[in-house]
């Protein structure tokens, strides 16, 4: 695409969000694991013709700017924060980008940072519609049965757009209108930007309304139109905790529908929460009570849940079973079985055909194929080879609380560790060695050997008989 066709985006994110009753700025609240602002920025970034984004920040501007800078530091498109202080309304917010766009002659798309359900496909269709019709200004609208709190699109008798009236300024007849303003606009900047010098605060809220550019453009005989969206969920704006709960619900339903469409079985959508950033392949079955947050990939024929929390950065092969567990930052290859009640975290790599059983915690470790850690163990900062068996109750003692140093445990192929052993790191148990049950191992164990480190058993014959005679 020729660079003169490139589009600039302005995202409004300066408001406090009073109705949220929160110490966080509104746009920093999360929907399915990502902030409202991140969801809007991500959809915007996916539109290829948009090459630069201006985010208008104000309330707790440092916090929001730091968040943008750290989240998008590796992004190739430019995302610039502009401060709006004080916050005098949405019209004033867009005007803050005026200096940065002084010599710009193309299309500017304006979005609100509090509408996290908008998709990039809709943004693309909206831009295409604006351009194909050679409009000076296009607003995104939809029909809501309950239009309360949204600006209403007021049309002339010939159906052309006349103006937008805010709920608080609307007369009873205007309040009946069910077509609402989504807060997304395509603006031919050269023609419409002079409007920002003429906005006033003559309204119930005493604010500079961005919506007044519609009336301004109509009066200047510029071409103004509305693009009416069918899926009205997409424009859903967050103004309260109730809206936040609804947005979580709507985004979840959209995600689960896509997964089911692609061949994933979800037994109980009502108790299943999956982030849109989670990919799941065909014929995987999700039992009730699963929460899958962050970016994850699950293979084919897996069984997840019941009752599972996935915290992000989890990647599995095929035919992996994870029950009643908590897993994050892990790679788990084919045919593994995890849980119930396992905790896997902090950079774990598990090869195929491994079993991690009940009450086992695995942290920052690698486990090679056909190894079992079946019951009640802690495996931390460790490397386990192939065909290893870790007996019930084994602990890798990786942490020295005096020096605060964490050390490594290296267990080679075919090693068998007896139940209730403590392996005090740093330590190496070489190939095919055995450790006897109940041992505390502090020295390396060579290949093919047996290490026993426990009190020797003494048997005192007839002790019980003698004891009971004496006492009676």
Which sequence positions are flagged as catalytic? 375
Return the one option of Ca ion, ligand UD1, none that residue 234 interacts with (CB less than 5 to 8 A, by type).
none
Dist. CA 178–CA 230, nearest whole Å? 13
**How far, rounded to the nearest angstrom, does the alpha carbon of residue 389 sit from its chain's CA centroid?**
36
Q: Which residue is nearest to ligand UD1 (CB)?
A: 151
Spell out where 15-63 has E strands: 30-31, 34-35, 50-57
Q: Measured from the CB atom, is 29 or 363 closer to ligand UD1?
A: 29
Work out how close the CB of 265 gets to ligand UD1 at its nearest, in angstroms, rounded to a whole number.
36
Q: Measured from the CB atom, is 183 or 391 closer to Ca ion?
A: 183
Work out how close the CB of 94 gets to Ca ion at its nearest, in angstroms, rounded to a whole number.
15
Nearest to 314, CA basis, from 304, 324, 378, 353: 304
Return the one option of Ca ion, ligand UD1, none that residue 12 interacts with (CB less than 5 to 8 A, by type).
ligand UD1
Return the one option of ligand UD1, Ca ion, none that residue 90 interacts with (CB less than 5 to 8 A, by type).
ligand UD1
Work out how close the CB of 95 gets to ligand UD1 at its nearest, in angstroms, rounded to a whole number.
10
**How far, rounded to the nearest angstrom, does the alpha carbon of residue 177 sit from its chain's CA centroid?**
36
Dist. CA 407–CA 444, nearest whole Å? 14
Q: Measured from the CB atom, is 183 or 380 closer to ligand UD1?
A: 183
Cβ atoms within 10 A of the Cβ of 177, count?
17
DSSP state, residue 445: B
DSSP state, residue 3: G
Dist. CA 371–CA 383, nearest whole Å? 11
Q: By the criterion CB under 6 A, which residues form the site for ligand UD1? A: 12-15, 27, 56, 58, 84, 87-90, 92-93, 112-115, 150-151, 164, 166, 180-183, 209-211, 237, 239
Dist. CA 158–CA 154, nearest whole Å? 11
3-state secondary structure of 250: helix
Q: Measured from the CB atom, is 14 or 280 closer to ligand UD1?
A: 14
Q: Measured from the CB atom, is 239 or 432 closer to Ca ion?
A: 239
Work out how close the CB of 282 gets to ligand UD1 at its nearest, in angstroms, rounded to a whole number.
38
Q: Measured from the CB atom, is 149 or 419 closer to Ca ion?
A: 149
Return the one option of Ca ion, ligand UD1, none that residue 87 interacts with (CB less than 5 to 8 A, by type).
ligand UD1
237 contributes a contact to Ca ion by CB under 5 A: yes
> Near Ca ion by CB under 5 A, which window of 17-25, 232-240, 242-250, 353-361?
232-240
Return the one option of Ca ion, ligand UD1, none that residue 13 interacts with (CB less than 5 to 8 A, by type).
ligand UD1
Cβ atoms within 10 A of the Cβ of 71, count?
16
SS3 content of the chain, % helix, strand, coil (to 5): 25, 30, 45
DSSP state, residue 63: H
Backbone angles phi, psi at 335, to 5 degrees: 65, 20
End-to-end CA distance of the chain: 101
Work out how close the CB of 23 gets to ligand UD1 at its nearest, in angstroms, rounded to a whole number.
16
Q: Measured from the CB atom, is 22 or 324 closer to Ca ion?
A: 22
Q: For Ca ion, what does the binding mask look like between residues 251 and 280, x meaning CB under 5 A?
A: ------------------------------
Q: Which of residues 58-117 bind Ca ion (CB under 5 A)?
A: 114
Work out how close the CB of 99 gets to ligand UD1 at its nearest, in angstroms, rounded to a whole number.
17
Cβ atoms within 10 A of the Cβ of 428, count?
17
Return the one option of Ca ion, ligand UD1, none that residue 20 interacts with (CB less than 5 to 8 A, by type).
none
Return the one option of Ca ion, ligand UD1, none that residue 93 interacts with (CB less than 5 to 8 A, by type).
ligand UD1
Q: Measured from the CB atom, is 170 or 388 closer to Ca ion?
A: 170
Q: CA angle 413-414-420, nearest 5°?
A: 110
Structure tokens at 177: 């209108």
Q: Which residue is nearest to Ca ion (CB)?
A: 237
Return the one option of ligand UD1, Ca ion, none that residue 373 interacts with (CB less than 5 to 8 A, by type).
none
Q: Which residue has the tokens 């003692």?
A: 397
Residues contacting 56, CB < 8 A, separation 6+:
10, 11, 12, 13, 14, 81, 82, 83, 84, 93, 94, 96, 97
Dist. CA 436–CA 418, nearest whole Å? 5
> Near Ca ion by CB under 5 A, which window of 235-243, 330-338, 347-355, 437-445?
235-243
Determine the size of the site formed for Ca ion (CB under 5 A). Answer: 3
**N residues, the chain:** 472
Beta strand pairing status for 152-155 and 161-165?
antiparallel
Q: For Ca ion, what does the binding mask look like between residues 287 and 326, x meaning CB under 5 A?
A: ----------------------------------------
**How far, rounded to the nearest angstrom, does the alpha carbon of residue 275 sit from its chain's CA centroid?**
6
Is residue 43 within 8 A of residue 120, CB to CB? The reply is: yes
Work out how close the CB of 234 gets to ligand UD1 at its nearest, in angstroms, rounded to a whole number.
11
Is residue 73 within 8 A of residue 99, CB to CB? The reply is: no
Work out how close the CB of 409 gets to ligand UD1 at its nearest, in angstroms, rounded to a whole number.
51
Nearest to 168, CA basis, from 194, 222, 206: 206
Provide the binding-site residues for Ca ion, judged by CB under 5 A.
Answer: 114, 237, 239
């Amino acid at each position: 695409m020729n660079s003169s066709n490139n589009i600039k985006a302005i995202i409004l994110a300066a408001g406090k969000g009073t109705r949220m009753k929160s110490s966080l700025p509104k746009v920093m609240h999360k929907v399915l694991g990502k902030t409202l602002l991140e969801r809007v920025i991500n959809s915007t970034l996916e539109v290829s013709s948009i090459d630069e984004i201006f985010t208008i920040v104000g309330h707790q501007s440092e916090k929001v700017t730091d968040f943008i800078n750290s989240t998008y530091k590796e992004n190739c498109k430019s995302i610039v924060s502009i401060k709006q202080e004080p916050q005098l309304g949405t019209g004033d917010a867009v005007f803050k980008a005026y200096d940065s766009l002084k010599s710009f002659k193309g299309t500017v798309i304006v979005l609100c940072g509090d509408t996290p359900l908008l998709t990039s496909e809709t943004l693309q269709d909206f831009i295409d519609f604006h351009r194909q019709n050679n409009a000076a200004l296009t607003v995104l609208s939809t029909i809501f049965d309950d239009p309360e709190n949204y600006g209403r699109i007021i049309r002339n008798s010939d159906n052309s757009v006349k103006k937008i009236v805010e709920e608080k300024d609307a007369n009873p007849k205007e309040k009946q209108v069910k077509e609402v303003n989504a807060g997304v606009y395509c603006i031919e900047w050269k023609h419409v930007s002079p409007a920002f010098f003429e906005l006033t605060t003559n309204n119930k809220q005493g604010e500079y309304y961005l919506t007044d550019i519609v009336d301004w453009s109509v009066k200047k005989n510029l071409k103004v139109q509305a693009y009416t969206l069918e899926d009205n969920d997409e424009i859903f704006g967050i103004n309260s905790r109730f809206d936040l709960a609804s947005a979580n619900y709507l985004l979840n339903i959209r995600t689960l529908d896509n997964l089911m469409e692609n061949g994933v079985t979800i037994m109980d959508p009502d108790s299943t929460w999956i982030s849109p950033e989670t990919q799941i392949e065909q014929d995987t079955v999700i039992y009730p009570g699963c929460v899958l947050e962050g970016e994850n990939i699950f293979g084919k024929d897996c069984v997840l849940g019941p009752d599972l929390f996935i915290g992000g950065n989890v990647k599995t092969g095929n035919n992996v079973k994870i029950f009643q567990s908590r897993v994050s930052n892990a790679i788990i290859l084919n045919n593994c079985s995890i849980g119930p009640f396992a905790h896997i975290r902090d950079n774990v790599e598990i090869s195929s055909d491994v079993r991690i059983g009940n009450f086992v915690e695995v942290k920052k470790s690698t486990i090679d194929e056909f190894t079992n850690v079946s019951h009640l163990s802690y495996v931390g900062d460790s490397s386990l080879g192939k065909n290893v068996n870790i007996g019930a109750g084994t602990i890798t003692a990786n942490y020295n609380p005096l020096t605060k140093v964490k050390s490594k445990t290296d267990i080679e192929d075919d090693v068998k560790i007896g139940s209730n052993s403590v392996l005090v790191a740093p330590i190496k148990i070489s190939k095919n060695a055995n450790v006897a049950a109940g041992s505390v191992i502090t020295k390396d164990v060579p290949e093919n050997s047996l290490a026993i480190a426990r009190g020797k058993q003494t048997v005192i014959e007839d002790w019980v008989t003698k004891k009971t005679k004496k006492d009676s």
